[in-house]
């Protein structure tokens, strides 16, 4: 019987964004895909042996981690999305509040700017652009995600996550500073941290083989 795995996408990402990872890992695992929007709406993550996620999905995974989970992979993740005086590894609240207002008027412009930053220092490929357009989310889901990111803070939960955690982060991440994963590594009881110097937020999109190899080695 195969072990079970859930792969959760991040904000503004549909299932198509993580389908390549599911395809690469499906030989060993019984894999299901959930979007971050679905998990946020349900406030529930199904039982699974392993969870792979990142960004908003990483916050949700740490908040709602099922008791069955034995290994966790967090890609470009953080314990708190917005910066505070005691946690500088985040985005200013005013940026998210501005995005919420702009989504009402110019949703395409907001998403185009977001995905430019997601893929920095690379360009978004045509394949990635087609995938996100195919998996586009409703305005309500996008706003709900930003409102969650404005207030989400799982720092108090991190020391209680006592399963092995693999942390992958790009040094040039424009969405979540790499210091966020370094903070997680310092506070998680059992974690492995790998910083990829020449990449940003969208590690699986631009370092696919390397990311899959790191995940497979971690899960063995």
Round to whole Å and give the CA distance between 34 and 148. 17
Give whole-number Cα distances, 54 to 103, 117, 211, in Å.
23, 15, 13
Residue 4 token pair: 């079970």
Round to whole Å and give the CA distance between 75 and 207. 12
Q: What ranges make up the beta strands (E) of the chain?
A: 3-8, 29-34, 50-54, 71-75, 165-170, 191-196
Residue 51 token pair: 């969870």
Residues 60-90: tens digit of each pLDDT? 999 999 999 999 999 999 999 999 999 999 9
Output the pTM of the full model. Answer: 0.96
Share of the chain above pLDDT 90, in %: 91
Position 134 pLDDT exceeds 90: no
Mean pLDDT across the stretch 10-36?
95
User: Coil, helix or strand for 57?
Assistant: helix
Mean pLDDT across the stretch 191-215?
97
* Residue 153 confidence (pLDDT): 98
Residues 174-187: tens digit of each pLDDT? 999 999 999 999 99
Nearest to 211 by CA among 24, 77, 48: 24
The residues, ordered by sequence, that sit 6+ positions from 55 with a Cβ below 8 Å of its Cβ are 10, 11, 36, 75, 76, 77, 78, 175, 176, 201
- Tell me the domain boundaries of the chain: 3-219
Position 133 pLDDT exceeds 90: no
Round to whole Å and give the CA distance between 217 and 220. 5
Position 118 pLDDT exceeds 70: yes
In this structure, are residues 172 and 120 in contact, taking their beta carbons and an 8 Å threshold? yes
Q: pLDDT band at residue 47, thresholds of 50, 70 and 90?
A: very high
Round to whole Å and give the CA distance between 123 and 89. 24
Homologous superfamily (CATH) of 3-219 is Alpha/Beta hydrolase fold, catalytic domain (3.40.50.1820)
Share of the chain above pLDDT 70, in %: 98
Round to whole Å and give the CA distance between 50 and 72. 6
- Per the prediction, the chain carries an average pLDDT of 95
Mean pLDDT across the stretch 114-141?
85
Position 18 pLDDT exceeds 70: yes
Residues 87-116: tens digit of each pLDDT? 999 999 999 999 999 999 999 999 999 999
Q: pLDDT band at residue 2, thresholds of 50, 70 and 90?
A: confident
């Amino acid at each position: 019987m195969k072990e079970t795995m859930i792969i959760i996408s991040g904000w503004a990402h549909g299932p198509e964004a993580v389908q390549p990872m599911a395809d690469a890992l499906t030989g060993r695992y019984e894999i299901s895909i959930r979007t971050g929007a679905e998990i946020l709406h349900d406030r529930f993550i199904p039982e699974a042996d392993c969870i792979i996620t990142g960004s908003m999905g990483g916050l949700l995974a740490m908040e709602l981690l099922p008791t069955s989970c034995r290994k966790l992979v967090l890609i470009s993740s953080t314990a708190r999305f917005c910066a505070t005086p005691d946690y500088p590894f985040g985005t200013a609240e005013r940026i998210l509040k501005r995005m919420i207002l702009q989504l009402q008027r110019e949703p395409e412009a907001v998403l185009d700017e977001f995905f430019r930053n997601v893929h920095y220092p690379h360009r978004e490929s045509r394949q990635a652009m087609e995938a996100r357009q195919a998996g586009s989310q409703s305005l309500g889901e996008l706003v709900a995600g930003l409102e969650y990111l404005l207030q989400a803070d799982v720092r108090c939960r991190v020391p209680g996550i006592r399963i092995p955690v693999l942390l992958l982060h790009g040094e040039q991440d424009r969405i979540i500073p790499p210091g966020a994963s370094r903070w997680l590594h310092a506070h998680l009881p059992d974690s492995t941290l790998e910083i990829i110097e020449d990449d940003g937020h969208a590690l699986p999109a631009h370092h696919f083989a390397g990311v899959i190899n790191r995940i497979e080695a971690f899960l063995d």
